[in-house]
């Protein structure tokens, strides 16, 4: 009798849904730090999606009666120099951070992976020329390239995404290329060639899926980096512009000017940035360990 319930419990485990859940459960059990990171990331995304519901105030509503008000029951994290609720603006700011983070990481890692894999696949002269081009972009410090792009295109969220994505591409290409170099020598690539498939099909269908592990690792690493860069650019006044709520922007100007009188303006947005990037890195590290046992020690 004791055996029966056990077998019953095991049966659903074979179905796709349960095994997926079981995988998540295993990940949580084996990598508690990664699970905590993932949970914070999920909460962050949910907050970004539902900012208009969870935020107590309108992010643009000014209240000149409550300028620079300290944290209280009405304003949990205080107000800024225009009397805007800091908590509300942090919640709305996660929209900007998530949008910029996901867009930059996705485009940067994807374009980089395609270029890197193609460069490794074609090898020879193509590879040499592509690598020299990548070297040029790599020699530009990331923030300086982003600064130059913003000065040309102007501020605004789309331009910030572009400014952060462009410097990411050569870095992603470098990683993808080194993984693809090994894959290129494998027999199935030769087989695909012998079968007469075109270059594009071999690169996209046969090689790209096999650099998925480094791709996902880059994606999570770039998410945090993009959020940090967006904050830096916005802080310099070269990123997202007022009155859009963005964490870096909240640290600019009045936050520094009135730092002594109203330290909450300078502290909480920075904590939001740190927590978001921390969660992404924690999750990314564990994901890397789980996906790529060879890299486990790093």
Partner 1 sequence: MAKYIVKRLLLMIPTLLGVAVLIFFLMRVVPGDIVEMRFAGESAFAQKENLDKERARLGLDQPLWKQFVTWMWGIVQLDFGTSMWTGSPIFEEIKLRAALSFQLAVMATVIAVVLAIPLGVVAALKQDTWVDYGVRIFSIAGLATPSFWLGIVFILMLLIVFKWLPPMVYTPFWVNPWQNMLQLIWPALAVGYRYSAVATRMTRSAMLEVLREDYIRTARAKGLWQKLILSRHALKNAMLPVLAVVALEFAFLMGGLVVTEQVFNLNGLGMLFVESVARRDYTLTQALVMLVAFVFIFVNFTVDLMYAWLDPRIRFR
Least distance to partner 1, CB of residue 9, Å = 30
CB nearer to partner 1: pick between 62 and 281: 281
Is 29 a residue that touches partner 1 (CB under 8 A)? no
Report in angstroms how near the CB of residue 155 gets to partner 1 at its nearest. Answer: 13
Q: Does 140 bind partner 1 (CB under 8 A)?
A: yes
Q: For residue 184, count CB atoms less than 10 angstroms from its CB and return exposed for 0-12, middle for 13-18, buried for 19 or more.
A: middle
262 binds partner 1 (CB under 8 A): no
Stretch touching partner 1 by CB under 8 A, among 99-107, 163-171, 193-201, 252-260: 252-260
**With binding defined as CB under 8 A, does residue 28 bind partner 1?**
no
Question: Which listed residue (28, 81, 267, 290) binds partner 1 by CB under 8 A?
Answer: 267
Relative orientation angle of helices 86-122 and 32-49, to the nearest 10 degrees: 120
CA angle, 137 as apex, 168 and 174 as ends, to 5°? 60
Is 224 near partner 1 (CB under 8 A)?
Answer: yes
The stretch near partner 1 (CB under 8 A) out of 85-93, 115-123, 196-204, 278-286 is 278-286
112/170 with CB nearer partner 1 = 170
- Closest to partner 1 by CB, 57 vs 247, is 247
Give me the 178-217 binding string for partner 1, x by CB under 8 A, dash otherwise.
----------------------------------------
Q: Is 266 in the site for partner 1 (CB under 8 A)?
A: yes
Contacts of 45 (CB under 8 A, 6+ apart): 98
Q: Does 176 bind partner 1 (CB under 8 A)?
A: no
Q: What is the largest CA-CA distance in the chain?
A: 76
Q: Does 156 bind partner 1 (CB under 8 A)?
A: no
Is there binding between residue 148 and partner 1 (CB under 8 A)?
yes
Q: What is the 3-state secondary structure (H, E, C) of the chain?
A: CCHHHHHHHHHHHHCHHHHHHHHHHHHHHHCHHHHHHHHHHHHHHHHHHCHHHHCCCCCCCCCHHHCCCCCCCCCCCCECCCCCEHHHHHHHHHHHHHHHHHHHHHHHHHHHHHHHHHHHHHCHHHHHHHHHHHHHHHHCCHHHHHHHHHHHHCCCHHHHHHHHHHHHHHHHHHHHHHHHHHHHCCHHHHHHHHCCCCHHHHHHHHHHHHHHHHHHHHHHHHHHHHHHHHHHHHHCCCCCCCCCCCHHHHCCCHHHHCCCCCCHHHHHHHHHHHHHHHHHHHHHHHHHHHHCHHHCCC
281 binds partner 1, rule: CB under 8 A: yes
Piece of the chain touching partner 1 by CB under 8 A; list 95-103, 148-156, 179-187, 202-210? 148-156
297 binds partner 1 (CB under 8 A): yes
Return the residue of 12, 56, 74, 141 that touches partner 1, per CB under 8 A.
141
Binding site for partner 1 (CB under 8 A): 33, 132-133, 135-136, 138-144, 147-148, 151-152, 224, 228, 231-232, 235-236, 248, 251, 255-256, 259-260, 263, 266-267, 270, 273-278, 280-282, 285, 297-298
């Amino acid at each position: 009798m004791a055996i029966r319930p056990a077998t019953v419990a095991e049966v659903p485990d074979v179905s796709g849904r349960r095994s997926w859940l079981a995988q998540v459960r295993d990940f949580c059990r084996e990598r508690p730090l990664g699970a905590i990171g993932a949970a914070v990331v999920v909460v962050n995304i949910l907050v970004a999606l539902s900012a208009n519901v969870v935020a107590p105030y309108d992010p643009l509503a000014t209240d000149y009666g409550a300028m620079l008000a300290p944290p209280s029951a009405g304003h949990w994290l205080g107000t800024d120099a225009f009397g805007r609720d800091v908590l509300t603006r942090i919640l709305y700011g996660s929209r900007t951070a998530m949008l910029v983070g996901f867009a930059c990481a996705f485009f940067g890692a994807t374009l980089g992976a395609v270029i890197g894999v193609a460069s490794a696949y074609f090898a020879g002269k193509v590879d040499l020329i592509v690598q020299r081009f990548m070297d040029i972009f790599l020699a530009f410090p990331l923030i300086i390239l982003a600064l130059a792009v913003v000065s040309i295109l102007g501020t605004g969220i789309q331009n910030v995404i572009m400014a952060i994505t462009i410097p990411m591409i050569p870095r992603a290409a470098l990683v993808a290329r080194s993984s693809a170099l090994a894959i290129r020598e494998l027999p199935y690539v030769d087989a695909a060639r012998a079968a007469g498939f075109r270059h594009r099909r071999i690169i996209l269908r046969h090689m790209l899926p096999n650099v998925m592990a480094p791709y996902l690792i880059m994606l999570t690493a770039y998410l945090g980096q993009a959020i940090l860069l967006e904050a830096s650019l916005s802080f310099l006044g070269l990123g997202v512009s007022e009155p859009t709520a963005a964490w870096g922007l909240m640290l600019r100007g009045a936050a520094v000017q009135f730092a002594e009188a109203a330290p909450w303006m300078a502290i909480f947005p920075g904590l939001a940035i740190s927590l978001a990037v921390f969660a992404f890195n924690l999750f990314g590290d564990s994901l890397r360990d789980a996906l790529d046992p060879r890299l486990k020690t790093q």
